[in-house]
Amino acid sequence: MGRETLALGWAVAATLMLQALAMAEHSPRTPHSKASVFADLSAQELKAVQSFLWSRKELRLEPSRASTIAKNSVFLLEMLLPKKQQVLKFLDNGQRRPVREARAVVFFGAQEHPNITEFAVGPLPQPYYLRELPPRPGHRASWASRPISSVEYVLLNHALQEATKPLHQFFLDTTGFSFHNCQLRCLTFTDVAPRGLASGERRTWFILQRYVEGYFLHPTGLELLVDHSSTNAQDWTVEQVWYNGKFYQSPEELARKYKNGEVDVVVLEDPLPKGKGAESMKDPPLFSSYKPRGDFPSPITGHGPRLVQPQGPGYKLEGNTVLYGGWSFSFRLRSSTGLQVLNVHFGGERIAYEVSVQEAVALYGGHTPAGMQTKYIDVGWGLGTVTHELAPGIDCPDIATFLDALHYYDADDPIRYPRALCLFEMPTGVPLRRHFNSNFDSGFNFYAGLKGQVLVLRTTSTVYNYDYIWDFIFYPNGVMEAKMHATGYVHATFYTPEGLRHGTRLHTHLIGNMHTHLVHYRVDLDVAGTKNSFQTLRMKLENITNPWSPTHHLVQPTLEQTRYPRERQAAFHFRRTLPKYLLFTSPKKNPWGHKRSYRLQIHSMADQVLPPGWQEERAVTWAR
């Protein structure tokens, strides 16, 4: 079992490759009926859990839509994966099926001491018990650090509109946009996290933006710090204001100083054509839109290449299980964390119990308070649930199989996300293997080539401005790859000259701040059984007397193997050279006496972004 950290710059893909050095023996694959042990909860199951929870009057549940923070409500329901040992006994030894349970996260806001509690609810399909899932000692989730619900956003929006009333004229003069009676020229906001400077706080910096297409790129220069820790929204207050490089105590102070001509004002150019609320077809597109503009010297016309599969797909989909060549695996789209592949077999043998996305974070630097404060930890923003519809021909080839997902998150019913996942086979554009055997006389003895084709399982997470594309890729030779593309919009703040120390100017009033994306995968390999060990191979040079010419010396590479008996020894620190070959190894040997292994290949530019142990860093210790 291992955990790996990948980090990457903007729009650079990281890959994790598990490469087979194993020889497989054939054994029957897991039947579809058994693989359902890994399946996400169905709509019926989610509803059964929901009505069971509502039947427990002592929970005093209210709908999550009820317009208050001071309520008890179900925030999240998802399948609770049984313990691995139980699942393996069921899959491999014919023991009884593990009890099917749901994980329920309940916000208890209507208590004297509001808290978040997690429960296991079972047994499905007709639950009759509820068991508290205790947090790891010292790891109880703090009420203040809970994710923001849609109701809290509505309340925050209202609070911001109220608090900035004194700035109405200031907004109109400097941006042409406002919060009041705005119709088409409205302001909006982006909130950043962490929400405070110490555990237990809930104080958020808000970036005010003009609400046009790509509003992430239209900061107005104003940022507000709001304390919204109280469960009563009436108690929320604006604590500080930042405008164009200067701090103010309150919106009132900024408004007063503006009136007195004491504010260094930046009047923004109008992003929309004069006199119009929205764009028309004739006007040049907004710089923040995805509409192509300008001309290439050789315009690319037509639709471009497309995939066809005249004989239908090469894979088979049975429920939540995929069969493809030597591969079989199950998958789920876990609402909290995202895409997981489970019970991965190649050549009839299990090679991984689980390979799954666990977390994605983005840590920023910047000159504005929101810029310097931003450290997004994306599971707290619904990483697994923001799996919006994939567009055929763009997000996935049009021949892909598209699958819906269900999420029960910050809602009072399961919500169907159409086309949340796609599955497709595609050519890699390069042969898997090839050889041209020349006869060295302008001809050849033979040519051999194997088509490069892979199977891709894909989903996306749109975490506000970012879109992560998550791929699990299966190669015909036993290689499996986990890959993330980061795209969408950058998280940007208002341009100040000092901001250039932390980023790049992207437009007149815009800085793209430097940041690091770190992605956490859980990789639980089982290579020829679960008794795996970890070892590495490096190249070591030896300098020997040449045996066939003793007057000469010869330098050549040798293989140096290192074993790591303890898991901690296999945790490699950043800024130290990683051994070239990382091997998960079984005690079982192949016919030639080599231990059967899978190689882990990490393509990452990850680095230590925060000092180990530093405040928020303790929330992402996997990134050390």
Residues involved in catalysis: 378, 466
CA 348/CA 353 separation, integer angstroms: 14
* Closer CB to Cu ion, 10 or 287, in the complex: 10
Q: What share of the chain is helix, strand, coil (3-state, %, to 5)?
A: 15, 40, 45
Nearest distance from C-beta of residue 608 to Cu ion, angstroms? 18
Residues facing residue 6 across a β-bridge: 519
Q: Which is nearer to Cu ion, 10 or 564 (CB)?
A: 10
Q: Which of 282, 308, 348, 379 is nearest to 24 (CA)?
A: 348
Please state the closest distance from residue 146 (CB atom) to Cu ion, in A: 25
User: Which residue in the shown chain puts its C-beta closest to Cu ion?
Assistant: 10
Helix (H, G, I), strand (E, B) or coil at 235: helix
DSSP state of 233: G
Binding-site ranges for Cu ion (CB under 5 A): 10
CB of residue 11 to Cu ion, shortest distance in Å: 8
Residue 603 carries which side chain, given as an amino acid letter?
A: H
Which of 10, 574 has the CB closer to Cu ion?
Answer: 10
Q: What's the CA angle centered on 356, arms 352 and 360, to 5 degrees?
A: 150
Report how far residue 24's alpha carbon sits from residue 478's, in angstroms, rounded to the nearest whole number. 10
Helix (H) or strand (E) holding 49: helix 43-55
Q: Helix 251-259 to helix 168-175 angle, to the nearest 10 degrees? A: 60
Mapped onto helix, strand or coil, the DSSP state of residue 139 is coil
State the nearest-atom distance from the C-beta of 298 to Cu ion, in Å: 31
Tokens of 5: 């950290």
Please identify, using beta-carbon distances, which residue of 29 and 491 lies nearer to Cu ion. Answer: 491
Q: Which is nearer to Cu ion, 10 or 54 (CB)?
A: 10
Residue nearer to Cu ion on the CB measure, 164 or 493: 493
DSSP string, 530-568: S--EEEEEEEEEEEEE-TTSTTSEEEEEEEEEEEE-SGG
Two tokens at 476?
Answer: 């015909």
Q: What are phi and psi of 512, to 5 degrees?
A: -90, 115
CB of residue 487 vs Cu ion: minimum separation in angstroms? Answer: 9
Contacting residues for 478 by C-beta, under 8 A, at least 6 apart: 19, 20, 22, 24, 326, 346, 347, 351
Tell me how far, at minimum, the Cβ of 216 lies from Cu ion, in Å. 11
CA distance 27 to 322: 17
